[in-house]
Amino acid sequence: MTRASLCLLLAGCFNPPTPEGFGDPSLLGPLEVDNLAPPVPAEEGDPFPESLSMVSGEDVDNDRYYAHARGWLKADSADVWASLRNLDVMADRREVDEYELVAEGSLPEFDFSYVIANRVEDLLTVNYELTWVHELQQGDLGIPERVVVRWDKTDGTGFIDLLAGSVVIRRVDAGLCEVELIEHLRAAARDEQTIEQVLADLYGDLRADVHGEPLPTY
């Protein structure tokens, strides 16, 4: 189905979003305890190739689609975390036409928090907001050992009933991190392939940004 066709489904197809909630910052965790994506296999001469492994599907019991992914990044953990606070990296640039930071420090109990306003221009203009929170859980700002990042759709179009995700940054050694990504989605005419593309794009943007390369274009 085309993006134009999707817009025809906007009128009251879904209830308002029901945020999953972030809770106590000290207890912030990924969307699911276990990331089901398999470890990225080693390549000849490279035990930590910068590639992504992923699993996805439909969670019928919870009425949502999901994707789990994990990958290596050959960069310092502080740089990976900084890249994940880059607005151009966080935004779904493949689908969203305009995006902006509208509320920095919106949840001051977390280390970093902000709201990103997104606009999609099609037959109809689609607006929605994502609230992001970051929490350092091990290490310090100079050498973070474990960082948990969450996002959730908290306002906007009923076209998207659920859009929530998480990233865990885990420092393995100097110049090497593992990132674990999860996203949940419930939206008109969307499925797990949508999430796969979002997580693949996010990982690709992170990889480019930490190496000082231009972000991919779509």
pLDDT digits (tens, 9 = 90+) for 57-114: 999 999 999 999 999 999 999 999 999 999 999 999 999 999 999 999 999 999 999 9
pLDDT for position 2: 39
pLDDT for position 7: 39
Answer whether residue 3 shows pLDDT above 80.
no
Mean pLDDT of the chain: 90
Answer whether residue 52 shows pLDDT above 80.
yes
pLDDT for position 173: 97
Residue 157 corresponds to which amino acid? T
**d(C-alpha 133, C-alpha 205), whole Å:** 19
- Give me the domains of the chain, ranges plus CATH numbers: 56-210 (3.30.530.20)
Alpha-helical (H) ranges within 46-191 are 77-83, 87-90
Taking the alpha carbons of 81, 149, 184, 131 in that order, is the dihedral positive or negative?
negative
Residues 6 or more apart whose Cβ sits within 8 Å of residue 108: none
Rounded to an integer, the average pLDDT of 147-153 is 97
Angle at 22 between CA 69 and CA 40, to 5 degrees: 10
Query: What is the pLDDT confidence band of residue 213, given thresholds at 50, 70 and 90?
Result: very high
